[in-house]
Amino acid sequence: MANLGYIGLGMMGGSMVNRLIEKGHTVTGYNRTRAKAEPLIARGMRWADSPRALAQATDVIFSMVTNASALESLASGPDGFLAGLGHGKILIDMTTGSPAKCRELAAKVREKGADMADAPVSGSPGMLKEGKVSIMVGGHRETFDRAKPLLEDIGSKVTWVGEVGLAVSMKIAMNLSLAVQMIAFSEGVLLAEKSGIARETAVDVLTHSAIASPMVQYRGPFVLKMPEEAWFDVEMMQKDLLLALEMGRQLLVPLPTSSVANEYMTASRALGFGKRDFAIVFETLARTAGVAK
């Protein structure tokens, strides 16, 4: 059993802490808003008053926050987790941010005698609770080998993809497809509905057809009833699409469908949907098509 730290206790981070506690690990947590940590503390999670204190008290530190800017603010300064790192410790960052920023942070971590791997997750909150998410890992192979058993306590598939920063690149490449798929699915539902087919029937047929990827199967029904709490909101999805478009420009990879998806995220935000699950793009398209709920 390991002595672990976790920074960022949102929907996904909190669920990961739950899994790690269930597996018998000692987990110390930190979150900017302590209220989110209270249910985890009640389950046995220890609390750290700062990222530095957490890093000092643990051997392997996980982090999963909104973006690279948020991660940098938690890493830096006298109370940042960099100040608490030392020889032999590992940072496993699960944030989806810029690959370049990821490599910059890894260099700072290694200056402390510690090491870092980036390890973003693919899967929904429901899949995470069942331990069925997949995890991509970038970093030194020996660090991956040390971290792999811990990551397997979170998800069912853990894959080393290469040097640090490449796991984030893989996650960005994956997430652009989620947005594109959701828009294509929404177009299909709306075309069927305006043809005279009931929306519920169209969703049922499409989610049991050849186009039914795992994402379509679990997120497609959201067009019938949106979740109260976003699994992955429009603003977060647009952040990842912009990261993908920037990578495309740098690597000379045309991303035409990602560009269109990004515009629909902008349109969704303009309608006030920024904090809703990105499946709300269906409503944005429905309004354009003149289809009422």
User: What sign does the dihedral 215-216-220-221 (CA atoms) show?
Assistant: negative
Q: How many CB atoms lie under 10 A from the CB of residue 73? A: 13
pLDDT for residue 293: 63
Give the Cα separation of 168 and 122 in Å (integer).
Answer: 11
Domains and CATH numbers, the chain: 3-163 (3.40.50.720), 169-289 (1.10.1040.10)
| Residues 194-216: tens digit of each pLDDT | 999 999 999 999 999 999 998 99
Give the Cα separation of 157 and 38 in Å (integer).
Answer: 30
Planar angle of CA 119, 239, 28, nearest 5 degrees:
40
pLDDT for residue 30: 97
pLDDT for residue 68: 86
pLDDT for residue 167: 97
Residues in the chain where the model's pLDDT stays below 50: none
127 HSE (CA, 13 A, CB side): 17
Planar angle of CA 138, 69, 60, nearest 5 degrees:
45
